[in-house]
Amino acid sequence: MRVLGLSAYYHDAAAAVVVDGRIVAAAQEERFSRIKHDPAFPVNAARACLELAGLQPAEIDLVAFYDKPFLKFERLLETYLAFAPRGFTSFRHALPLWLKEKLFQKSMLVKELSQLDEDVDWAPRLLFSEHHLSHAASAFFPSPFARAAVLTMDGVGEWTTTSLAIGSGADLKVIREIHFPHSLGLLYSAFTYYTGFKVNSGEYKVMGLAPYGEPKYAALILEHLIDVKEDGSFRLNLDYFDYCTGLTMTNRRFDALFGGPPRKADEALGQREMDLAASVQAVTEQVVLKLAQAVARETGETNLCLAGGVALNCVANGKLLRQRSFARMWLQPAAGDAGGSLGAALVAAHLYRREPRPSNGAADCMQGSYLGPSHDTADSVRRLSAMGAKFDVLDDDQIVERCARALADGQALGWHQGRMEFGPRALGGRSILGDARSPTMQKLLNLKVKYRESFRPFAPAVLREDVSDWFDLDEDSPYMLLVADVLDRHRIAMTPEEQQLFGIDKLNVPRSSIPAVTHVDYSARIQTVHRETNPRYHAVISRFKALTGCPVVVNTSFNVRGEPIVCTPDDAFRCFMGTEIETLAVGNCFLRKQDQDPALKERYEGKFVLD
């Protein structure tokens, strides 16, 4: 059976194709439209996935959408009635859109699907999953576990904000839920808004900012904003929030509690924002750890799967791993709404059509999350030549050697190889790589390549066989969803003067022998690189290790701030020419900036709306 899964109309629209229970392709619409977090119907992503699967639209048996719009509309109405008349402003803004489009989403989806093939009768093929069931399915069915507890946490689906499911074989049942307006994801988003970042976009910035601060406000949050029980269940005090009734996340009472209005996006970050970030991160970790402990105690399950936006909080994930409430954990790399498309397809395959779940041995079924389109050498040569690029076409060994030497020489390397990753992280398919040993690489990449805030940390990509020699971790972390500390023997001791520094002043103090990937608290967001899923990526880092003695490189997404990760060779060349990246490898094509026509350079950073 062939299933097309879809998520759309909120943020991070995506498509996925599952054939006979096996994941064949998945991609986000933003990569094709070049609109960050694009919520539109994912027509380009769907076409790409069908092409990767070798299917015509008429060959699709079922189309599964990731949530149920009628239940969302029910939440809107009941929330308005519960808070009336306070909620009238937000209700007045939302109702026309719901009446025009979302309430009649089935007919709208049928109309949109006709873009794939107008001769297909799509209506009888269309199914609707539930939001958190889609998340849970995306976490359990691709996991390597025969049985597992499945915890999903996000802002809100239809009504649910947190759910517990039990997966066994090809079966999956949600057994417990926490409902809107009580939401750990919305609590974190409230602080994202209050510290001056975009909701549903900037939460990872709050996580990255947290180590610069102290959790001075954690007790205040626990006293006034959230009541956390011993089993991790919680309730928010809605007196401090405005997301139920207004057009912002927080209100004046929230402002008074934390000493002033929200930071504006163009204002400098201060110590207050750093301490607020540290505080909401600490509270989030406390809730996640308590929830997991209770789940392990009550279910007796030894495996845990995670999905939903909160599962992208890799700092909390790292602490959850070290807590050892479960013997093993698996995290869906596309944990947010994009992954709902994959989950919906898996719900249709396994829960609706009762297809058996395919086995992948000890490995998961995500294929390293390399599920998007690729470009062969001939296509890359054609595209780059059409753009006026100058390049050498090398054989496999030569491209590995040239790239490893560029990294060893301290150059930033654009890396466009193989199939594009599914999910928010660049995992060695569409990455920018650098020398982790460089004390200036972090600042260089942030300010001159990414054009983003200087405090933002970068992730280490490390050979799986070497991870425990450098970090306090000896687990697979292929999806960059676990944080662990750099081992003591690689750290650089701080002077008494350096220990007295506060906030952003800590940034320029080298913390270890791999300073470009060591955060101010000696932590790192780790990607383990596996020969089985990405042999060329593994080969380049192995050759870099042979040249330098270090099996660790910087890995960050191939884009500038506000731009989606690059998709095609054309996107890669434009980003290369619009930034200060010195070298670029597109398949077997190797480019040096100094060889390019200066007329092709452009002020690239101004082309995208800042995130």
Is the pLDDT at 460 greater than 90? The verdict is yes
Task: Say yes or no: do domains 2-142+332-365 and 184-329 share a fold.
Answer: yes
pLDDT score for 314: 96
Q: What is the DSSP letter of 167?
A: E
Q: Which candidate, 117, 7, 109, 112, places its Cα nearest to that of 57? A: 117
Chain centroid offset of residue 474 CA: 22
Give residue-wise pLDDT tens across range 356-392: 999 887 889 999 999 999 999 999 999 999 999 999 9
Measured CA to CA in angstroms, residue 20 lies from 62, 230, 286, 450 at distances of: 12, 42, 40, 41
Domain parsing of the chain, residue ranges: 2-142+332-365, 184-329, 377-607
Check whether 404 has a pLDDT greater than 60: yes
Q: Which contiguous run of DSSP H or E holds residue 23?
A: strand 22-28
pLDDT band at 336 (very low <50, low <70, confident <90, very high): very high
The pTM for the full model equals: 0.94
Q: Quick one: pLDDT at residue 158?
A: 80
Decide if pLDDT at 450 tops 90: no
Q: Each residue of 250-281: pLDDT tens digit?
A: 999 999 999 999 999 989 999 999 999 999 99
From CA 296, how far away is CA 303, in angstroms rounded? Answer: 9
377-607 is classed CATH 3.40.50.1370: no
Residues carrying an active site annotation: 11
Among residues 369, 384, 294, the alpha carbon closest in space to that of 570 is found at 384
**What are the beta bridge partners of residue 421?**
370
User: 97: pLDDT confidence band, cut at 50, 70 and 90?
Assistant: low
Say how many C-beta atoms besides its own lie within 10 A of residue 268's C-beta: 8
Any idea which architecture 184-329 has in CATH?
A: 2-Layer Sandwich (3.30)
192 and 183 in contact (C-beta within 8 Å)?
A: no
Pairwise CA distance, residues 403 & 23, whole Å: 31
37 pLDDT exceeds 70? yes
SS3 179: strand
Q: What is the spatial distance between Cα 521 and Cα 472, in angstroms, rounded to a whole number?
A: 13
Strand ranges (E), 502-565 = 523-529, 552-557
End-to-end CA distance of the chain: give it in Å, rounded.
Answer: 39
H helices, E strands: number in the chain: 20, 21
- Report the SS3 class of residue 291: helix
Would the pLDDT of 84 be above 70? no
The CATH architecture one would assign to domain 2-142+332-365 is 2-Layer Sandwich (3.30)
Burial class (CB in 10 A: 0-12, 13-18, 19+), 359: exposed
